[in-house]
Structure 1
Amino acid sequence: MNRFDWFPSGPQLFFTLRNNDRPSGATQATIPIQFLMRSDFVAGFDDALETIHATGCQLPILSLAHYLPPVTSGNQHDIDMLYFIGRTIDLVPSLALNDPDMDPIAVSSLNTFYTIVDGCSTA
């Protein structure tokens, strides 16, 4: 048995740099020029982003550095593992939930009505 036999035979996963949407305005300088995305999500994300752009909208992404989870002897159930394996997307928080009439982005769902209460969205 080879020492590499336990590796999966699927495609290799890696993080790739993507160009970010940067709406004009006072907060444009706070939006990263590029963001990282896991390689197996790029095709689907590009399709969704094309649909967003076709409607005249933009989706600024906040790309945080990816690192390994902390080593603790405590309860590991409190750690969100989805972030560490690249399965989360963070929007630039300074662009939403400030003024619903002027925000460059809106957070909503087609099937749920959201209202803004004290700067937070509620279903």
Structure 2
Amino acid sequence: MTDTPPPEPQEITEAIQSVLYEFTQERDDITANDPITVNSGYCREFAEEVLDYLGYPSEITQYDAWYVHSWIEFDGQHYDAEHPRGVKHPREFPIWERVTADEYEMAVSDCDILNQKTP
């Protein structure tokens, strides 16, 4: 954790968009060409790159749900490559519609926030 001041939500959106551009347009070591592909194998690295871009503010939490999905949360909003403006609850992420029932169950059992009621 650092002394980096908390970001504004727009700064998170801009960071996600910038890192997404880097992942889909500039990196030769990643074969992702859109947010769905980023969320289908590169989401943990993506979340970490967004945190790095923002200077690792202590107010942002990174969540990992088993080996299925990673995302960040700030001030009640959850962000990933497909939702640069955030959603109220991580169950709103469309990745859950693309994974198997077993993968979803493993993610839910691994990440308590997925068990919480939607605000």
Q: Which has the larger radius of gyration?
A: 1
Would you tell me which structure has more helix in proportion to its own residues? 2
Higher relative contact order (CA 8 A, sep 6+): 2
